[in-house]
Amino acid sequence: MGTATVLVVDDERKIRDLVRSYLEREGYSVLVADTGQRALETLERARPDLLVLDLMLPDLSGEEIARAVRGHSSLPIIMLTAKAGEDDRVTGLRLGADDYLVKPFSPRELVARVEAVLRRSGESASQSIAFDAGDMAIDRDAREVRLRGDLVELTRSEFDLLHALASHPGRVFSRFELITKVQGYDYEGYERTIDAHVKNLRRKLGEDPKHPRYVLTVTGVGYKFGVKPDA
């Protein structure tokens, strides 16, 4: 049973009403917007816990809204689009989306994904982990990553991916294992999904993509964290 507030942004009234009905049935508080401008105004005024965002809007594009949100917030975003191509899916994730759903979609599946994203964002562990003589610190309770004292702005999916790897330094995780930990379920194209998250994560950590220090590629298998925690 949900208790969070979800903002649904879609210019199709049938979709807004359908999603709202299913989410409210599960106990969520639902706000709706039919344009990008109204979405931004509602985000500023209401501060919802999750954003369900259609990419095709009549004024501002979903991409523009996602960039605006990611400029100052790690608010969870689930993108909706009629584009079914895997490249479009990866593009959405690179913009900072935590998940991606292609129209037409099952409202029950959307509710399940909302629950999964919110559950991941609310999970916490007991302590922070430090690496590189304190150069990197990962605080699961605060959901913060600091690099040489500076806060690194990560999406929830990027944070969960980094924390999953860093909690078991040296252990090789397959892409399937990582998508299960980060997304909570499996769907077509998951390998590209994880690769997109890793690319974003490395960039934000200032890593050399050809010679990363923290998130290492294990060819043909997946990824591992390359640095042991401080004693």
**What pairs with residue 135 in β-bridges?**
none
For the cut 70, the answer to whether the pLDDT of residue 188 exceeds it is no
Can you give the residue ranges of every domain in the chain?
5-122, 128-225
pLDDT at 85: 61
Contact between residue 50 and residue 118 where contact means Cβ atoms under 8 Å apart: yes
Using 50, 70 and 90 to split pLDDT, how confident is the model at 178?
confident
The tens digit of pLDDT for each residue in 126-166 reads: 457 888 888 899 987 778 899 988 999 998 889 989 988 99
DSSP state of 143: T
Q: Fold for domain 5-122?
A: Rossmann fold (3.40.50)
C-alpha–C-alpha distance, residues 48 and 120, integer Å = 16
Give the other-Cβ count within 10 Å of 151's Cβ: 10
What's the half-sphere exposure (Cβ side, CA atoms, 13 Å) at 3?
Answer: 1
For the cut 50, the answer to whether the pLDDT of residue 1 exceeds it is no
pLDDT at 118: 86
C-alpha–C-alpha distance, residues 124 and 127, integer Å = 9
Contact between residue 215 and residue 112 where contact means Cβ atoms under 8 Å apart: no
For the domain bounded by 128-225, which CATH number is listed? 1.10.10.10
Contact between residue 89 and residue 113 where contact means Cβ atoms under 8 Å apart: no
C-alpha–C-alpha distance, residues 226 and 231, integer Å = 15
For the cut 60, the answer to whether the pLDDT of residue 197 exceeds it is yes
The two structure tokens encoding residue 164: 């999953």
The tens digit of pLDDT for each residue in 71-122 reads: 777 789 999 887 666 566 666 676 778 888 888 889 999 999 998 888 877 6
The two structure tokens encoding residue 106: 């099952």
C-alpha–C-alpha distance, residues 200 and 197, integer Å = 5
Closest CA to 175 of 157, 155, 198: 198
**What pairs with residue 31 in β-bridges?**
7
DSSP state of 215: E
The tens digit of pLDDT for each residue in 21-71 reads: 999 988 888 999 999 999 999 988 888 889 999 988 989 888 889 888 887
C-alpha–C-alpha distance, residues 197 and 219, integer Å = 17
Using 50, 70 and 90 to split pLDDT, how confident is the model at 173?
confident
